[in-house]
Amino acid sequence: MKRWYKAGRTALILAAAAMLLAGCGGALDPQGDRAKDQYFLIMLSFGIMVLVMLVVFTLFFTAVIRYRRRKGDTGDPKQVAGNHRLEIIWTVIPFMLILLLASFTVVFAFKHDEVIAAEDAVNVQVVGHQFWWEFNYTDHGIRTAQDLVLPADTWVNVELSSADVIHSFWIPQLTGKTDTNPGLTKTVAFKTGDPGVYLGKCAELCGPGHALMDFKVVVKSQDEFNAWLAGMKEPAPAPSTPAAAAGQEVFGNYCISCHAVESDKMSLGPNLKGFADRQTVGGFRENNDKWLREWIINPQEVKPGATMPAFGDMLSEEELDHLIEYIRTLK
């Protein structure tokens, strides 16, 4: 009777917790299939552990409260060597609980290692850099960075590797993380959820900029995604204002050596095709002129360890204004 009571109480606690915790976001508010499986496992393991803790804590507190030495009682308590039945119980029951957790674990371990057939998924090559993310849509010949644009409710294969040190690719609401290793590739699959913008993080210490090596996953409807793909393949529109044209010249003098503006070109730094439509500057700051300006003037001030040189001393205020206006045309 006591055990049922405990189990029921546990279930209630968990349900309440789940509702509360969903407000916390991240892995506790899963939106994609993989994350939902992982959430289930987290809750299952948490539930089992709460049960274990309830049993252990009850026994523990009973023992330390009930068996305190009474004042003046100097005699020895009865010396008990052991109890075979108890020892068997507390070996077998934990074993069974673990069997339960292990079964789900093994099933999901294999399920989550499966990669989707290339024809049935969006295939993206992900390369981690210090401290930004490169995304190449191999089926379409599109190179981009920092914003991972994907269609809703679709399976995605990401082929992960790194250009320098080990990073880790993580989108808490959509899927768990997988390391990006230099010299090795690993492909994992995940399914996107509803349209929206999801937070992506680097999850392996990679230097001073690690904490700020965020990226965004921009999930669009299938139509919007197709439109985006088409737009990315189009050449950049010619600058329409004189300021922007001047900015293009500045860009050509200082930036083009590291940043391509056509999505089919490789570059040392992030490809800037479509930058004007991106969520962020530097991967984590709001994409507005203020942050763009600060970034160009001194990237290390915004993101410690950033490998882009500081241009504050090299550009006049006017050049900077023109440059920014030009960058705003990169749609």
Partner 1 sequence: MAHAYSATVKAGARRSFWPVLKDWLTTVDHKKIAILYLLGGTIFFAFGGIEALLIRYQLMFPEFDAIPAQLFNELITMHGTTMIFFVAMPLVFAFMNAVVPLQIGARDVAFPFVNALGFWLFFLGGLMLNLGWLFQAVPDAGWTAYVPLSGPEYGGFGINFYVMGLQISGLGTLIGAINFIVTIVNMRAPGMTFMRMPLFTWTSFITSVLILFAFPPLTIGLVLLMFDRLFGANFFDVSQGGNVVLWQHFFWIFGHPEVYILILPAFGIISEVVSTFAGKRLFGYSSMVFATVLIGFLGFMVWAHHMFTTGMGAVANALFSVATMLIAIPTGIKVFNWIFTLWGGKIRFTAANLFAVSFIPTFVMGGVTGVMLASAPANFQFHDTYFVVAHFHYVIVGGIVMALLAGCFYWWPKMFGRTLDERLGKWTFWTFYPGFHLTFLVQHFLGLMGMPRRVFTYLDGQGWNTMNLVSTIGAFLMAIGVIIFLVNVFKTAAKPADAPSDPWDGRTLEWSLPTPVPEYNFRQLPLVRGLDAWWLEKREGRTHMTPAEPPGPIHMPSPSSLPIWMSVALFIAAIGFMYAKEPFSAGFVRFLFENYIVGIGGLAMFFTCMIIRSLKDDHGYHIHPEEAEGEAAHQ
- Of residues 37 through 76, those in contact with partner 1 by CB under 8 A are 37-38, 41-42, 45-46, 48-49, 52-53, 56-57, 59-60, 62-64, 67-70, 73, 75-76
Angle at 78 between CA 73 and CA 80, to 5 degrees: 145
Are residues 188 and 21 in contact, defined by beta-carbon separation less than 8 angstroms?
no
**Of positions 137, 170, 251, 311, contacts partner 1 by CB under 8 A:** 170
Contacting partner 1 within 94-113 (CB under 8 A): 94-95, 98, 101-102, 104-106, 108-113
**Of the candidates 289, 283, 300, the residue with the CA atom closest to the CA atom of residue 327:** 289
Q: Does 143 bind partner 1 (CB under 8 A)?
A: no
The widest CA-to-CA distance across the chain, in whole angstroms, is 98
- Minimum CB separation of residue 278 from partner 1 in Å reads 17
Residue 319, helix vs strand vs coil: helix
Which residues fall within 8 angstroms of residue 229, CB to CB, at 6 or more apart?
137, 140, 142
How would you class 172 by CB atoms within 10 Å of its CB: exposed for 0-12, middle for 13-18, buried for 19 or more? buried
Nearer Cβ to partner 1, position 9 or 111? Answer: 111
Nearer Cβ to partner 1, position 42 or 152? Answer: 42
Stretch that binds partner 1, among 20-28, 136-144, 215-223, 259-267 (CB under 8 A): 20-28
**Of positions 77, 119, 223, 317, contacts partner 1 by CB under 8 A:** 77
Angle at 180 between CA 255 and CA 137, to 5 degrees: 60
Taking residues 272 to 311 in sequence order and writing x for each that binds partner 1 by CB under 8 A, - otherwise, the string is ------------x-------------------xx------
The H or E element that residue 128 is part of is strand 122-129
Distance separating alpha carbons of residues 29 and 165, to the nearest angstrom? 30
Per DSSP, what are the bridge partners of residue 136?
Answer: 125, 143
Distance separating alpha carbons of residues 310 and 298, to the nearest angstrom? 4
**Of positions 140, 153, 207, 312, contacts partner 1 by CB under 8 A:** 207
Which residues fall within 8 angstroms of residue 10, CB to CB, at 6 or more apart?
47, 50, 51, 54
- Minimum CB separation of residue 68 from partner 1 in Å reads 5
- Minimum CB separation of residue 174 from partner 1 in Å reads 11
**φ, ψ for residue 147, nearest 5 deg:** -105, 120
Q: Does 147 bind partner 1 (CB under 8 A)?
A: no
**Of positions 19, 91, 240, 317, contacts partner 1 by CB under 8 A:** 91
Q: Does 198 bind partner 1 (CB under 8 A)?
A: no
- Minimum CB separation of residue 153 from partner 1 in Å reads 21
**Of positions 184, 197, 227, 230, contacts partner 1 by CB under 8 A:** 184
Instruction: Count the neighbouring beta carbons within 10 Å of the beta carbon of residue 92.
Output: 10
Q: Does 312 bind partner 1 (CB under 8 A)?
A: no
Q: Does 248 bind partner 1 (CB under 8 A)?
A: no
**Of positions 172, 193, 274, 283, contacts partner 1 by CB under 8 A:** 172
**Of positions 125, 181, 298, 307, contacts partner 1 by CB under 8 A:** 181
Structure tokens at 137: 């849509």
